[in-house]
């Protein structure tokens, strides 16, 4: 029988504040991992600019597939970040939990790309006046996917930590937490994202190494905070820790 007992209430400010606190507490151990994550982010920016993924609506299939491969190292680094945030000593450990986490998170990276690319490729062959329904459909699919992924957010984290969390358990535990989570994600991303996007735009236009490196550092710090948010929502909903 499904357990319908009340779940701990969560708010965006609680989640965002918890994310900042977790990252701050573990920053000495996170620092070398952050350097690797920043390097992965810069490599992704370089790849996307070199292949034109940021400059056109329709992208060559080989460039898109290469982009999926480039997205794999940040997923691996994200697993290390989560293990540090949960005070695991062997954050580099290769085990089944890591493989399950990487597989699930990588799928979560690839699927929205496919949802965006397929309609774009099809709509490109149509007259401009007939493209709007397909583009609107793409937006609806991406929003729906974002909601589903958020409900399943605890699934890969639980697998990584060896808790055996299932997709069904995550779906139940995230009941009522989707919008607080997404708003909390916006809050933690806000500070690093504003200058990060500005620098990224400058790098995309000029290819300057300085702006690209600075964008990578800021955007990777935003990713650290996002991992902190994921850890916090897992603490609150899967482990029932107090606010």
- The three-state DSSP-derived secondary structure of 61-97 is HHHHHHHHHHCHHHHHHHHHHHHHHCCCCCCCCCCHH
pLDDT at 123: 63
Highest mean pLDDT among 9-18, 59-68, 109-118, 191-200: 9-18
pLDDT at 241: 75
pLDDT at 110: 87
- Per-domain residue ranges for the chain? 12-237
pLDDT at 2: 42
Joined tokens for residue 216: 């990578």
Using pLDDT thresholds of 50, 70 and 90, give the confidence band for residue 52: confident
Highest mean pLDDT among 11-25, 43-57, 65-79: 11-25
Does the pLDDT of residue 147 top 60, yes or no? yes
Using pLDDT thresholds of 50, 70 and 90, give the confidence band for residue 27: very high
Quote the CA–CA distance of 45 and 164 in Å, as a whole number. Answer: 35
Check residues 209 and 181 and name the one with the higher pLDDT.
Answer: 181
72-123 pLDDT tens trace = 999 999 999 999 999 988 888 899 999 999 999 999 888 887 776 666 666 6
pLDDT at 1: 36
**What percentage of the chain exceeds 70 in pLDDT?**
89
Once rounded to an integer, what is the mean pLDDT over residues 120-145?
75
Q: 191: which residues sit within 8 A by CB, 6+ positions away?
A: none
């Amino acid at each position: 029988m499904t357990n319908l007992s009340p779940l701990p209430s969560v708010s965006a400010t609680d989640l965002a504040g918890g994310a900042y606190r977790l990252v701050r507490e573990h920053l000495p151990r996170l620092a070398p991992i952050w350097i690797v994550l920043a390097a992965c982010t810069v490599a992704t920016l370089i790849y996307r600019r070199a292949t034109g993924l940021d400059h056109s609506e329709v992208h060559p299939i080989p460039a898109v597939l290469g982009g999926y491969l480039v997205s794999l190292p940040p997923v691996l680094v994200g697993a290390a970040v989560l293990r540090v945030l949960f005070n695991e000593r062997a954050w580099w450990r290769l085990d089944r939990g890591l493989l399950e986490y990487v597989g699930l998170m990588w799928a979560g990276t690839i699927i929205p790309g496919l949802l965006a690319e397929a309609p774009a490729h099809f709509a490109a062959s149509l007259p401009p006046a007939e493209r709007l329904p397909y583009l609107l459909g793409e937006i609806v699919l991406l929003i729906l996917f974002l909601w589903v992924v958020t409900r399943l957010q605890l699934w890969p984290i639980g697998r990584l930590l060896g808790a055996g969390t299932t997709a069904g358990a995550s779906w139940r535990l995230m009941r009522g937490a989707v919008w607080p989570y997404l708003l909390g994600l916006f809050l933690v991303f806000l500070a690093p994202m504003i200058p990060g996007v500005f620098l990224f735009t400058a790098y995309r236009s000029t290819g300057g190494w300085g702006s690209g490196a600075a964008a990578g550092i800021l955007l990777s710090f935003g990713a650290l905070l996002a991992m902190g948010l994921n850890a916090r929502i897992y603490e609150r909903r899967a482990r029932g820790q107090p606010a």
